[in-house]
Amino acid sequence: CANLRSLMHANTEDSMVSGGRGQDGSPIIIFPEFPSFCEIGDQEFRNVLTYLTSTPSLSAAGVGFIVVIDRRRDRWTCLKGTLLRISGWFPANLRLVLVLRPSAILQRTLSDVFFKLHKDDFKVPVIMLSSLADLHFYIERSQLTQELGGSQYYCHKTWISHRTDLESFAALVKRMAERLQVFGRELAETELPNNLLTASNLLNAQTSRKDSFKEEMAGALSQGRRLLENIREPVRRDPDSSLNPDQLENLATCVMLTVANESVSLIYMKASNNPLLDRVRSVVAEGHCLIDSSQNVDNTVAVKCDELQRVRENLTQELKDKRTMLTQAMELHRRLEMVCKWCDDGIYMLASQPLDKCQSQEGAESALSELECYLETANEKQQWEISTVWLEYENILNNELREQVKRAFEKKASLQEMFERRRVSLKKLAAKQTRPVQPVAPRPEHVMNELLETERAYVEELMCVLQGYAAEMDNPSMAPLIPAALQNKKDVLFGNMQEIYNFHKRIFLKELETYTDCPELVGRCFLDWMGELQIYEKYCHNKPRSESLWRQCSDCTFIQECQKKLEHKLGLDSYLLKPVQRITKYQLLLKEMIKYSKGCEGSVELQAALSSILGILKAVNDSMHLIAITGYEGNLGDLGRLLMQGSFSVWAEHKRGHVKVMELARFKPMQRHLFLHQKALLFCKRREESGEGYEKAPSYSFKQELSMAAIGITEHAKGDSKKFEVWSRSRDEVYTVQAVSEEVKTIWVTEIRKLLTGQLEACKGMDLVLDWFVNKYFETKPKRQDIRSDPTPLGDLFQ
pLDDT reading at 756 higher than 80: yes
Count of residues making up the chain: 799
Q: Are 351 and 461 in contact (CB under 8 A)?
A: yes
Residue 299 near residue 274 (C-beta atoms within 8 A): no
Q: Are 90 and 80 in contact (CB under 8 A)?
A: no
Region 253-268: what's the mean pLDDT?
A: 58
How many whole angstroms from its chain centre is CA 61? Answer: 21
CA–CA gap between residue 502 and residue 13 (Å, rounded): 48
Query: What is the pLDDT averaged over residues 631-648?
Result: 87
What is the rounded average pLDDT of the residues 255-261? 60
Of 91, 90, 69, 89, the C-alpha closest to 80 is 69
Q: Average the pLDDT over each of 8-22, 170-184, 191-205, 356-370 and give the range with the smallest value.
A: 8-22
What does the alpha-carbon distance between residue 244 and residue 565 come to, in Å, rounded to a whole number? 29
* Residue 31 phi, psi (nearest 5): -105, 95
Could you read off the pLDDT of 377-392 as tens digits, one per residue?
Answer: 765 445 567 777 888 8
Identity of the amino acid at 23: Q
Q: How many helices (H) and strands (E) does the chain have?
A: 25, 14
CA distance linking residue 63 with residue 81, whole number of Å: 26
* Tens digit of each residue's pLDDT (9 = 90 or more) over 668-723: 789 999 999 999 999 999 886 554 444 455 788 999 999 998 888 999 887 789 99
Share of the chain above pLDDT 90, in %: 17
Name the E strands within 678-763.
680-686, 700-707, 711-714, 723-728, 733-738
Average pLDDT, the chain: 78
Quick one: pLDDT at residue 693?
Answer: 45
Helix (H, G, I), strand (E, B) or coil at 243: coil
Quote the pLDDT of residue 382: 52
- pLDDT one-digit tens code per residue, 217-243: 888 878 878 887 887 777 677 766 667
Long-range CB pairs of 431-437 (<8 Å, 24+ gap) are 433/360, 433/361, 433/364, 434/361
Question: What is the phi/psi pair of residue 534, to 5°?
Answer: -65, -15
Q: What's the mean pLDDT in 183-191?
A: 75
Instruction: Between 460 and 251, name the one with better pLDDT.
Output: 460
Q: Which has more confidence, 16 or 10?
A: 16
Sign of the alpha-carbon torsion through 251, 257, 259, 262: negative
Quick one: 615 exposed, middle or buried, by C-beta within 10 A (0-12, 13-18, 19+)?
Answer: exposed
In which element (H, E) is residue 304 found?
helix 299-352
**What residues are paired with 152 via a beta bridge?**
145
Distance between CA 776 and CA 780 in Å, rounded?
7
Which residues on neighbouring strands pair with residue 724, listed in sequence order?
Answer: 737
pLDDT band (50, 70, 90) for residue 746:
very high
Question: Is the separation of the CB atoms in 684 and 671 below 8 Å?
Answer: no
Judge contact between 86 and 43, C-beta under 8 A. Answer: no
**Across 308-332, average pLDDT:** 78
pLDDT > 70? residue 461: yes
Q: How confident is the model at residue 504 (pLDDT cuts 50, 70, 90)?
A: very high
Q: Exposure string (b/e) for 225-258, b if CB count within 10 Å is 16 or more?
A: eebbebbeebeeeeeeeebbbbbbbbbbbbbebb
Give Cα 438 to chain centroid, integer Å: 52
Of 229-238, 270-279, 636-645, where does the model show the most confidence?
636-645
Nearest alpha-carbon partner for 756 in 715, 704, 703: 715
For strands 65-70 and 27-31, give the pairing: parallel
Q: Distance (Å, rounded) from C-alpha 484 to C-alpha 26?
A: 9
Q: What is the C-alpha to C-alpha distance for residues 41 and 50, in angstroms, rounded to an integer? A: 14
The whole-number pLDDT of residue 749 equals 94
**Cβ contact 227:169 at 8 Å:** yes
pLDDT at 589 over 60: yes
Q: Judge whether residue 596 has pLDDT over 80.
A: yes
SS3 (DSSP) at 350: helix
Confidence (pLDDT) at 433: 47
Query: Region 134-157: what's the mean pLDDT?
Result: 84
Q: How confident is the model at residue 439 (pLDDT cuts 50, 70, 90)?
A: very low
What pTM does this model have?
0.42
Is residue 70 a contact partner of residue 148, using CB atoms and an 8 Å limit?
yes
Q: For residues 128 and 135, is the Cβ–Cβ distance under 8 A?
A: no
Q: Which residues face 577 on adjacent strands? A: none
> Lowest-pLDDT range, 48-57, 293-302, 552-561?
293-302
Most confidently predicted of 180-194, 419-433, 508-522: 508-522
